[in-house]
Amino acid sequence: MSVIHLALALVANCAWGFNFIAGKIGTLTFQPLFFTSIRFFFLLLIMLPWLRPAPGHMKPLLKVAFLLGVIHFSMMFIGLNAGGNIASVAITTQLYVPFSAILAAIFLKESFSAIRVVAIFIAFIGILVIGFDPIVFSHLDAVLWVMGAAFAMAVATIMMRQFPNMGVFKLQAWIAAIAAPSLLLLSLIFESGQLQTLADLEIIQLWSPLYSAIGASVLGHGIVYYLLGRYPVSIVTPLLLLAPVLASIFGIWWFGDEIGWKLIVGGTITLLGILLVSVNVDRLMSRLKTRI
């Protein structure tokens, strides 16, 4: 990978890592569902030129849009709002990788090597270690919300593999179109005080949902889509594991998060397991054997 493309991967990681900061601030300002709805209204305005029908694939597209926009993002931001620190949430979101591998083996009949089984086991062991960190333990509901978000994303990932690739911006447009009104309705049902929040709002406070829409969805996903068009998934995906690390650093810098040793050890174990799931370890091992 060229230096320029490595720099782009770093930008994507920073964009996604800082999205956890914007999300935390935004959910505290607006409430989780209302914040997520505003985020998607901004994204919809940006993505309107790509909001075009996908003949023959609208039904699965709408299902994926609902899973990602309404289920995944609402659960993630609810968990982020409830979490005691950024690191535990950011690391737990990465569980979508082993969840996707498990679902692919079950529903797509993909090969499931012993190495991948061990890697998935390692990833979940790391989450268990994280759960025993005192700060995380007092906010276990946050971890459960984020695990649910990761599972929803894994289901959507499997569904997306069953219809043609229609481009990241078109997908983002439909996610925003479904999520924005749906989440606003859910916010009106389960939350309160939205009108008062808007009445007291200072324009500068809109930076958090605006950043989340542009920084994470447009910039972050746009860069990753660009890189995936030029390099194999097994090369690009491991580079993205820097995002939760950067999110943890941003959390310490912005909120003064305390990072205990259990969180460090558990996070390292989880990210190691996810790295092993992401890369084609079997092919790498076979190459090493042939060279030896």
Percent of the chain whose pLDDT exceeds 90: 61
The string of pLDDT tens digits covering residues 237-250 is 778 889 999 999 99
CA distance 180 to 165: 23
pLDDT at 66: 96
CA distance 145 to 5: 34
Q: Phi and psi dihedrals of 48, rounded to 5?
A: -55, -40
The string of pLDDT tens digits covering residues 264-283 is 999 999 999 998 887 754 44
Instruction: Kindly state the DSSP code that residue 139 receives in the 8-state scheme.
Output: T
Largest CA distance in the chain: 69
The string of pLDDT tens digits covering residues 97-133 is 899 889 988 888 877 777 878 888 999 999 989 887 8
Instruction: Kindly state the DSSP code that residue 204 receives in the 8-state scheme.
Output: G
CA distance 97 to 234: 12
pLDDT at 268: 92
Arithmetic mean of pLDDT over the chain:
89
Whether the CB-CB separation of 255 and 24 falls below 8 Å is answered with: yes
> Helix, strand or coil for residue 280?
coil
- Alpha-helical (H) ranges within the chain are 3-30, 32-47, 58-65, 73-82, 86-92, 96-107, 114-131, 134-137, 140-160, 168-190, 194-200, 207-211, 221-228, 233-239, 242-255, 261-278, 281-291
pLDDT band at 285 (very low <50, low <70, confident <90, very high): very low
Torsion angle of the four alpha carbons 152, 137, 255, 39, in this order, in degrees rounded to the nearest 10: 20
Provide the 10 A C-beta neighbour count for residue 158.
18
CA distance 229 to 161: 16
CA distance 232 to 64: 23
pLDDT at 115: 80
Asked if pLDDT for residue 290 goes beyond 50, the answer is no
Instruction: Kindly state the DSSP code that residue 161 receives in the 8-state scheme.
Output: T
Asked if pLDDT for residue 232 goes beyond 90, the answer is no
Q: Phi and psi dihedrals of 238, rounded to 5?
A: -60, -30
Better-scored residue on pLDDT, 146 or 1:
146
CA distance 30 to 88: 22
pLDDT at 168: 87
Asked if pLDDT for residue 292 goes beyond 50, the answer is no
CA distance 262 to 239: 24
